[in-house]
A = this chain, B = another copy of it.
Amino acid sequence: MSNPAQRTAATDQAYHAIRSDILSGTLKEGERITEQRMAENLGLSRTPVREAISKLIHEGFVERGTGYTTRVAHFEDEELEQMFQIRKLLESYGAARAAEFATDEQVEHLKELSAEMSAHTPPKSQSDYKIISAANEKFHRTIMEAARSPRLSALISMAVNVGMVARMYHLYSDEDLIRSAAHHHEITDAIAARSPEWAASVMSSHLLAAASMAARAGQRKVPAAF
């Protein structure tokens, strides 16, 4: 259009913008989205928007129907339950390996992330939710890196529908979040103590608790999160 030398990664910009719109509810569940409209709104061309959408599809924020219909993903409660079960299997294993292979720097990083989450728990504002959510994501990713198994990481990233997780976060009660924070601390300690079984066990509890919350949340209606 008129912006030739844009050196700020357009794909990232599109990705975050759309993702944010989905999480904020600006784009509602089931709403149809098109590359062109998104591109126009952002003042970008279709190419980076297209790539961003591909990524969002892979992560489960967006889904393609038959033909040219692309819409904000809506997910079944059953799927959410399944996802947590699978995560439990894979991430427990990952945590055990992390206890074995994590570097001191990674352990330190986990401590920082745990502390950050605790500092904002229970959350008092929307921004607290965002901070917790982001730190949580990074926490789990750091553990998987520490597990030193690219294949495992790839599988988990396929298994985990980030969109589902992010959108259900606001369904956690304060008690849930406090316990979650405690779990993070305990997982960190288990890894620091180099105890694979302990780490796996706590991770398992952590995700079973999450699965239970997911099931419980199925009763209520979701008013589109933060």
Residues of chain A touching chain B, judged by Cβ–Cβ distance below 8 Å, are 51, 54-55, 58-60, 63, 73, 79, 82-83, 85-86, 89-90, 93, 149-155, 157-159, 162
B157 close to A158 (CB less than 8 A): no
The chain B residue sitting closest to A153, CB to CB, is: B60
The chain B residue sitting closest to A159, CB to CB, is: B155
B90 close to A158 (CB less than 8 A): no
By CB atoms of chain B within 10 A, which of A54, A89, A151, A157 has the most?
Answer: A151
B82 close to A152 (CB less than 8 A): yes
Q: A149-B79, A149-B82 are in contact. Are A60 and B154 (CB under 8 A)?
A: yes
A58 close to B58 (CB less than 8 A): yes
B154 close to A59 (CB less than 8 A): yes
Contact of A54 among B51, B82, B154 (CB under 8 A): B51
Shortest beta-carbon distance from A115 to chain B in Å: 30
Give 18 A-B pairs besides A79-B149, A86-B90 with Cβ atoms closer than 8 angstroms: A55-B58, A58-B58, A58-B157, A59-B154, A59-B158, A60-B151, A60-B154, A79-B151, A82-B152, A83-B151, A85-B93, A89-B89, A89-B93, A90-B90, A151-B159, A151-B162, A154-B158, A155-B159
The oligomer's copy count stands at 2
A154 close to B58 (CB less than 8 A): yes
Shortest beta-carbon distance from A150 to chain B in Å: 6
* Residues of chain B within 8 A of A73, CB atoms compared: 150
Nearest 7 pairs of A and B residues by beta carbon: A60-B154, A89-B89, A82-B149, A79-B151, A155-B159, A60-B150, A82-B151
By CB atoms of chain B within 10 A, which of A54, A89, A152, A155 has the most?
Answer: A155
A86 close to B54 (CB less than 8 A): no
By CB atoms of chain B within 10 A, which of A60, A73, A85, A90 has the most?
Answer: A60
* Residues of chain B within 8 A of A59, CB atoms compared: 154, 158
Q: List 8 A-B contacts (CB under 8 A).
A: A55-B58, A60-B150, A60-B151, A63-B150, A73-B150, A79-B151, A90-B90, A155-B155
Q: How far is the CA of A86 from the CA of B157 in the complex (A)?
A: 14
By CB atoms of chain B within 10 A, which of A54, A89, A90 has the most?
Answer: A89
Shortest beta-carbon distance from A214 to chain B in Å: 14
